[in-house]
Amino acid sequence: MAKCPVTIAFDHSAHTSLIWCGQWDCPNCAKRNSGKWAKRTELALKTFAESGEGDAWMLTLTLGSEYTSVLAGYRAIPKLWDSTRKAYQRYYGTFTYIAFVEGQRKRGGMPHFHILTPVEPPTKRGRRGYVTKRGTHDFAVAFGWGFEAELELVTGSQAAVYVSKYTSKGDPSMPRNFRRVRVSRDIPELPDLGGSPLLVPSRSEDVAHFVARVVDATGVNAEDVYKAYTEALQWLHNEQERRETPLKAKQR
């Protein structure tokens, strides 16, 4: 989005910071969001390994031929996922996962669904005790997915790359506010990096009142705060204008 970063804030040392919109359909924030999810995925798989569960299985599920439009595909995913998730829970008792959606540009934007988990799908296994390719396909079809399904064993670094790659894809076919990533409650959060909360201007707050609030919180001279704020706002305005220029040229 041309308007992102959206505003300027201060930390408690009176240093300016950028505030980002955080939306997936914003090219800037999509990269930031996917990077955070990649780190969280790597942390989750490290936790799997330390607990003795080892590496993770990645199950890729597709949509069947009955879904003739991308929108119909996206609308179907929440219900398909709910039945799939419950099947894992019934079989294993608990179900640890990170699941994410990828819009396949080569298929007109039709979504694929990926599940990262330390356990195999609850389906028939071969003589050696592992889920077979046929078993994977049968499981997918049984819960409403397409016949094309793949199961592979991945390491933490591989999984992080997959998550970063798939979630950062900006697909215009994806409905607004669609949940790209789903996680179980036991997936660890990223560690808190510390630091004080930022001082952010409210929508109804004018510059004078915001500067006064920053001065009260930081003890820094009002003139210095005002100068830092106006310079940062000017930079932000120039950056937004730079991004909007190509968009305006295309519209002409």
CB 184 within 8 A of CB 34: no
* pTM for the structure as a whole: 0.71
Residue with tokens 């064993």: 153
Cβ within 8 Å of residue 250, ≥6 positions away = none
Tens digit of pLDDT at every position of the chain (252 positions): 456 788 889 988 889 988 887 777 777 777 777 778 888 888 877 777 776 666 789 999 999 989 988 889 999 999 999 999 999 999 999 898 989 888 776 667 788 899 989 899 999 888 877 889 999 999 999 999 999 999 998 876 777 777 766 666 656 677 777 888 888 888 877 665 455 688 888 888 899 999 999 999 999 999 999 999 999 988 888 877 776 665 554 545
Report which of 174, 184, 191, 203 is spatially closest to residue 81, judged by C-alpha positions. 184
